[in-house]
Structure 1
Amino acid sequence: MREETADAAALRARLRHVYWIGGGSGAGKSTVARRIAAQHGLRVYSTDDVMPDHAGRSTPEEAPCLSRFKTMGMDERWVNRSPETMLETFHWFRGEAFGLIVEDLLRFPADTGVIAEGFRLLPHLVKPLLAEPGHAVWLLPTPGFRRAAFDGRGWEIPRKTSDPELARHNLLERDRMFTDRLFEETKRLGLPVIEVDTVMNEGESTAQVMRAFGL
């Protein structure tokens, strides 16, 4: 047990320079991360950008849900299954390949701060890595904000299915339940949350995150 504790402490120390921004889809995590990084001379590590690389590096034994997902057609992924099933079996929501995120972050030089951002940063996986409790925050969008964000940017996935309207409904419902789960998990673990709604602009979100980080 002492060895495990020492290893965990050493890992936290090596990730001391990392700031974490997790949260629900469409909450503006990437925009906020880029704005803060530009103001404070930090790097940005987007967990969305490395998903193809991580999917290619994961074995079926390490990521069984991801392996199954790869074999599905678009309708099987987004139309034929219930939002509840989509939520419970979505590989990134289950934390598959999270270890590859940690591996990537450990490769960054420790003398420059890094903002890691993305929905893959699940609270129960991030908390054990925090040397500083104030180095993590979760942006959780209201349903209205999430719909507005997706309508504004367009959404490619539903258009690739045979029933775009049902696929869109399923995705929004799945993401609503995921956000609810994040609310419950962050509250249980005592981790900070910023709720993002339609009256909050990017500048306000950025300012709130910087205050949470103490920047």
Structure 2
Amino acid sequence: MADQYGWRLYATDDVMSDHARRTTAEEAPFLHRFMAMDMDERWVNRSPVTMLETFHWFRGEGFGLIVEDLLRLPSQPCVIVEGFRLLPHLVKPLLAVSGHAVWLLPSPDFRRTAIQGRTAPGEGFIRKTSDPERAGRNIAERDHAFVERLHEETRRLGLHAIEADTTMTEDDLANRVSETFLGRRSAPPG
């Protein structure tokens, strides 16, 4: 949509390292505890439930830095903000129109397909653990619980969520998002 309409894209994943550097242990205690852990402490030795409850970005740490960054941007063109750090309960108070936010939530099949499409176990950051397979399972379980939490929170707050599944094409998903944001389907690519 950003390319189609000439909007700016702000991807929260791209600024995570910068945001981590800009915080103190007092401002973001969960983040700083996480940064002090070794890879097994992060991904192998803790249960997925503990990983979910203590993961700094899932707790909203650093969200204020996203807002600060956005306030520094020029008012034009419009900005699309994306990323898992956009927790519904933090975003809702900032919305003038509830349709200006939509959460894309992967179905269980979509999540399985995405996990299988990632690098093989033992590659990437989980390769640095003593048990990459267990780390991968823990992360998958944590992510599943996070998505379930987002489903419940968007429902409870009356916010828009679209379940992305393996039957949807990118164009289908773009059209669904456009319908939410703009009240109309996006033009077919061409």
TM-score (ref. length: structure 1): 0.81
Q: Determine the structure 2 residue equivalent to 1:9.
A: none
Cα offset for 1:105? 0.3
Q: How many residues align?
A: 180
Specify the alignment match of 1:186 in structure 2.
154
Task: Quote how far apart the aligned CAs of 1:58 are.
Answer: 0.5
Q: Which amino acid aligns with 1:157?
A: F
Q: CA deviation at 1:142?
A: 1.2
TM-score (norm 2): 0.92
Which whole-Å CA distance do the structure 2 matches of 1:162 and 1:70 have between them? Answer: 18
Q: 1:212 aligns with which of 165, 180, 186?
A: 180
Cα deviation, residue 148, structure 1: 1.1
Instruction: Please give the secondary structure, in 2, of the residue aligned with 1:50.
Output: helix
Residues in 2 aligned to 1:185 and 1:113: alpha-carbon distance in whole angstroms? 26
1:67 aligns with 2:37: no
CA deviations 1:67-98 (Å, max 9, x no partner) are 10011011110000000000000000000010
2:48 counterpart residue number: 83
What is residue 8 of structure 2 aligned with on the other side? 43
State the match for 1:169 in structure 2. Answer: 137
Match for 1:145 among 110, 130, 145?
A: 110
Structure with bigger RCO (C-alpha 8 Å, 6+ apart): 1
Moved runs in structure 1, 4+ residues, more than 6 A?
Answer: none
1:41-67 residue CA offsets vs partner (Å, 9 max, x unmatched): 000000000000000000101100001
Name the CA distance, whole Å, in 2 between partners of 1:150 and 1:113.
32
Q: Give the counterpart letter for 2:168 in structure 1.
A: M
2:169 and 2:133 map into 1 onto residues whose CA distance is 28
Unaligned runs of 5+ in 1: 1-35
Q: CA RMSD in A?
A: 1.0
Give the gaps of 5 or more residues in structure 2. Answer: 185-190
Tell me whether 1:196 sits opposite 2:164 in the alignment: yes
Give the distance between the partners of 1:99 and 1:110, measured in 2 at CA: 18
1:184 to partner: Cα distance: 0.6
Please state how far the C-alpha of 1:150 moved relative to its aligned partner: 2.7
